[in-house]
Amino acid sequence: MDDSIEEVPEHYVRDRQLFIADPSMHKFEKHGLKKEPPGPLPHLVISFGEEDEGNLTFRALRHVSQLQIPLKVTVLVGERYPHDVSTLRMMALGRRNTIVQQPPYDLPEIYANADVVLCASGYMPYEIAVIGIPCIILSQSDFEVGLTFPKEQHGFVHLGLGRKVKQSNLLNAIMEPLLHEPLRKRAIERQLSLNLGGGLDTILETIFYLVEHPKRGVGGKTMSDMLN
């Protein structure tokens, strides 16, 4: 993928089209085009990956709890979440239609049923862009802030470092696609126009081409030597 601003060796290939979606996501490809506008109980999914060392899950749920509108909230906790899940559950009890889920769960189906997803800026935006769901990004680190993919031109709302985000900015970002249908549609269309998820075929085609047409690589070796 071409998501980092860091320099890489010349023989590396980076392209977001190389992203390989999990097979479980295939049935939800471009699902966002079929979704109706949010109903009377919009669905927000909060998901910060396997570990979430900075506990953005807690911070996000605390902010979202201040929204004074009907809202279904699903909080997904990763397998290696290092913090106290009971604290999240206690917060969830203070707001109607809010649940905290631990693995196992069907991540693609939960994403597909969301009206808005709140997540980090690593690999999850790629998964979201396969489905097509309005998505708000909170970066977990300075490195993630520098990633070039999950930005407005690709259909995402990037609010910067999660530990510094203001409550008002986050709540406004959540409400915008729920209240403004043209904005919701534009975000979905921008994500789906990238045509992500089918990288396996591209990777195999590239490998076969390099084997058949080797060129000089690193240290005087041909690419075919490097692939052996």
In this prediction, residues 165-189 reach a mean pLDDT of: 97
pLDDT band at 17 (very low <50, low <70, confident <90, very high): low
For the stretch 19-55, pLDDT in tens is 677 888 889 999 999 999 999 999 999 999 999 999 9
| pLDDT number for residue 7 | 55
pLDDT band at 144 (very low <50, low <70, confident <90, very high): very high
For the stretch 107-130, pLDDT in tens is 999 999 999 999 999 889 999 999
Q: How far apart are CA 146 and CA 66, in angstroms?
A: 30
Instruction: Give the range among 23-27, 132-136, 224-228 with minimum mean pLDDT.
Output: 224-228
pLDDT band at 227 (very low <50, low <70, confident <90, very high): very low
pTM over 0.85: no
In this prediction, residues 89-113 reach a mean pLDDT of: 96
3-class SS of residue 225: helix
Domains and CATH numbers, the chain: 22-197 (3.40.50.2000)
pLDDT band at 211 (very low <50, low <70, confident <90, very high): confident
| pLDDT number for residue 83 | 96
pLDDT band at 228 (very low <50, low <70, confident <90, very high): very low
Q: Does an H or E element contain 157, and which?
A: strand 156-161
In this prediction, residues 8-27 reach a mean pLDDT of: 65
In this prediction, residues 90-115 reach a mean pLDDT of: 96
Q: Which backbone phi and psi does 102 adopt, to 5 degrees?
A: -110, 155
Cβ burial 179-190 (10 Å sphere, 16+ → b, else e): eeeeebbebbeb
Q: Are 27 and 131 in contact (CB under 8 A)?
A: no
